[in-house]
């Protein structure tokens, strides 16, 4: 009796790669290829005359894309959408949204690390000063050399365009209202930035009228912003404190770190 099972038609092997050939070229195991196929990320074109899976040469490019997306932290479900031709055609906004969300997640994590590095450098500077007072200048110089060796870099100086890009990303009235005067008053000011559960706190160690006016203008401009953040200004024993809360608060932390290092 003839088998009722429907089998893929045999294909000319010269135009395709066997599962072993594809695995070797991609640097993965054949079991991984089978897993990708079960998950719908990879499709075998046909079967050889002897029944082996055959893949189009383009499958190697697809595997490169999958591996790159995985390295960037995308889930398999997201990769299906990013790689699917139908998804790109029918749900392009969803694909872009997935990529943007991943980018924002990385930016948030990067901001946390930048804030920690910034505060650690200030902490080590304070320790160096305290050592100098307690043990004398010679010991302080040795300690400074050790600190410089640990930190291993000079303070970064941000290009003017960096501030402009951040202002544009904030997407609020700061992009058009008195921005030159506001940010000129804040550039190069000594400040502390730290993360809290629901946002960031920025302490500008300066109580001058110019800095106060700039921060007040920043808070007022926030009223017309669509970033869903809450910004509050309050006096602090060491200067003026800005509390920024909300899912986009990290942008403000980036902005103030950039302003401090700007010349």
What CATH number is associated with residue 43?
1.10.1660.10
pLDDT tens-digit series, residues 22-52 = 999 988 899 999 899 888 888 876 777 777 7
The pLDDT of residue 1 is 45
Q: Are 80 and 87 in contact (CB under 8 A)?
A: yes
pLDDT confidence band for 215 (50 / 70 / 90): very high
Shared-domain flag, residues 147 and 167: no
Inside any domain, residue 225: yes
**At which of 47, 71, 90 does a domain end?**
90
Residue 99 and residue 74 share a domain: no
| Helix 59-71 / helix 30-38 crossing angle, nearest 10 deg | 90
Is 6 a member of any domain?
A: no
Which SS3 state, helix, strand or coil, does residue 219 take?
Answer: helix
Mean pLDDT of 6-22: 65
pLDDT at 66 over 60: yes
Question: Which pLDDT score is estimated for 186?
Answer: 92
Q: Using the Cα atoms of residue 109, residue 111, residue 112 and residue 114 in order, give the sign of their dihedral.
A: positive
In the 3-class helix/strand/coil scheme, how is 8-37 assigned residue by residue? CCECCHHHEEEHHHHHHHHCCCHHHHHHHH
In three-state secondary structure terms, 245 is strand
User: What does the DSSP assignment read for 112-181?
Assistant: HHHHHHHHHHHHHHHHHHHHHHHH-HHHHHHHHHHHHHHH-SPPP---HHHHHHHHHHH-SGGGTSSHHH
Q: Which of 122, 140, 155 finishes a domain? A: 155
Does residue 5 lie within any of the structural domains?
no
Do 248 and 162 belong to one domain? yes
CB-based contacts of 168-171 (< 8 A; 24+ apart in sequence):
169/251, 170/225, 170/227, 170/251, 170/252, 170/255, 171/225, 171/226, 171/227
Confidence of residue 9 (pLDDT cuts 50, 70, 90): very low
**Using CA atoms, how far apart are residues 246 and 200, in angstroms rounded to an integer?**
9
Burial 27-46 (b: 16+ CB within 10 A, else e): ebeeeebeebbeeebbebbb
99-114 pLDDT tens trace: 888 888 888 899 999 9
Residue 218: its pLDDT value, please? 86
The verdict on 80 and 141 lying in the same domain is no
Same domain, 145 and 167: no
- Do 135 and 101 belong to one domain? yes
Phi, psi of 80 (to 5 degrees): -60, -45
Burial class (CB in 10 A: 0-12, 13-18, 19+), 79: buried
- Lowest mean pLDDT, pick from 15-29, 68-82, 84-98, 231-245: 84-98
Q: In this structure, are 164 and 261 located in the same domain?
A: yes
Mark whether 182 and 197 lie in a shared domain: yes
| Candidate from 4-8, 50-54, 158-162, 171-175 with smallest mean pLDDT | 4-8
Tokens describing residue 187:
């550039």
Residue 192: strand, helix, or coil = strand
Residue 262 reports pLDDT greater than 50: yes
Q: Domain range holding 117?
A: 92-155
Task: Look at 217 and 6; give whichever has higher pLDDT.
Answer: 217
Whether 151 and 206 share a structural domain: no
Same domain for 182 and 256? Answer: yes
Do the domain assignments include residue 63?
A: yes
Residue 200 has pLDDT above 90, yes or no: yes
Q: How sure is the predictor about 211, in pLDDT bands with cuts at 50, 70 and 90?
A: very high
pLDDT at 243 over 90: yes
Q: How high does pLDDT run on average in the chain?
A: 78
- Rounded Cα gap, residues 122 and 47, in angstroms: 64
Among 34-38, 83-87, 129-133, the range of highest mean pLDDT = 34-38
Residues 164, 140 share a domain: no
Output the pLDDT for position 132: 65
Q: Are residues 76 and 111 in the same domain?
A: no
Nearest by Cα to 66 from 51, 78, 53, 49: 78
């Amino acid at each position: 009796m003839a088998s009722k099972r429907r089998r893929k038609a045999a294909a000319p092997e010269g135009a395709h790669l066997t599962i072993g050939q594809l695995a070797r070229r991609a640097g993965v195991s054949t079991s991984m290829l089978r897993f990708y196929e079960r998950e719908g990320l990879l499709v075998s074109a046909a079967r050889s005359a002897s029944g082996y899976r055959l893949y189009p040469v383009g499958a190697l490019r697809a595997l490169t894309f999958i591996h790159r997306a995985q390295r960037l932290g995308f889930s398999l479900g997201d990769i299906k959408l990013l790689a699917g031709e139908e998804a790109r055609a029918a749900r392009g906004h969803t694909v872009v949204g997935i990529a943007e969300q991943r980018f924002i997640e990385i930016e948030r994590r990067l901001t946390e690390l930048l804030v920690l590095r910034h505060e650690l450098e200030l902490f080590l500077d304070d320790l160096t000063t305290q050592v100098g007072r307690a043990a004398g200048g010679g010991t302080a110089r040795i300690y400074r050399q050790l600190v410089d060796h640990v930190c291993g870099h000079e303070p970064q100086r941000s290009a003017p365009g960096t501030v402009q890009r951040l202002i544009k990303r904030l997407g609020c009235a700061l992009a058009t209202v008195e921005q030159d005067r506001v940010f000129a008053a804040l550039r190069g000011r000594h400040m502390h930035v730290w993360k809290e559960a629901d946002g960031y706190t920025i302490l500008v160690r300066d109580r001058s009228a110019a800095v106060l006016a700039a921060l007040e203008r920043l808070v007022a401009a926030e009223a017309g912003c669509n970033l869903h953040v809450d910004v509050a200004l309050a006096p602090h024993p060491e200067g003026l404190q800005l509390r920024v809360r909300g899912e986009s608060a990290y942008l403000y932390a980036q902005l103030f770190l950039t302003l401090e290092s700007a010349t």
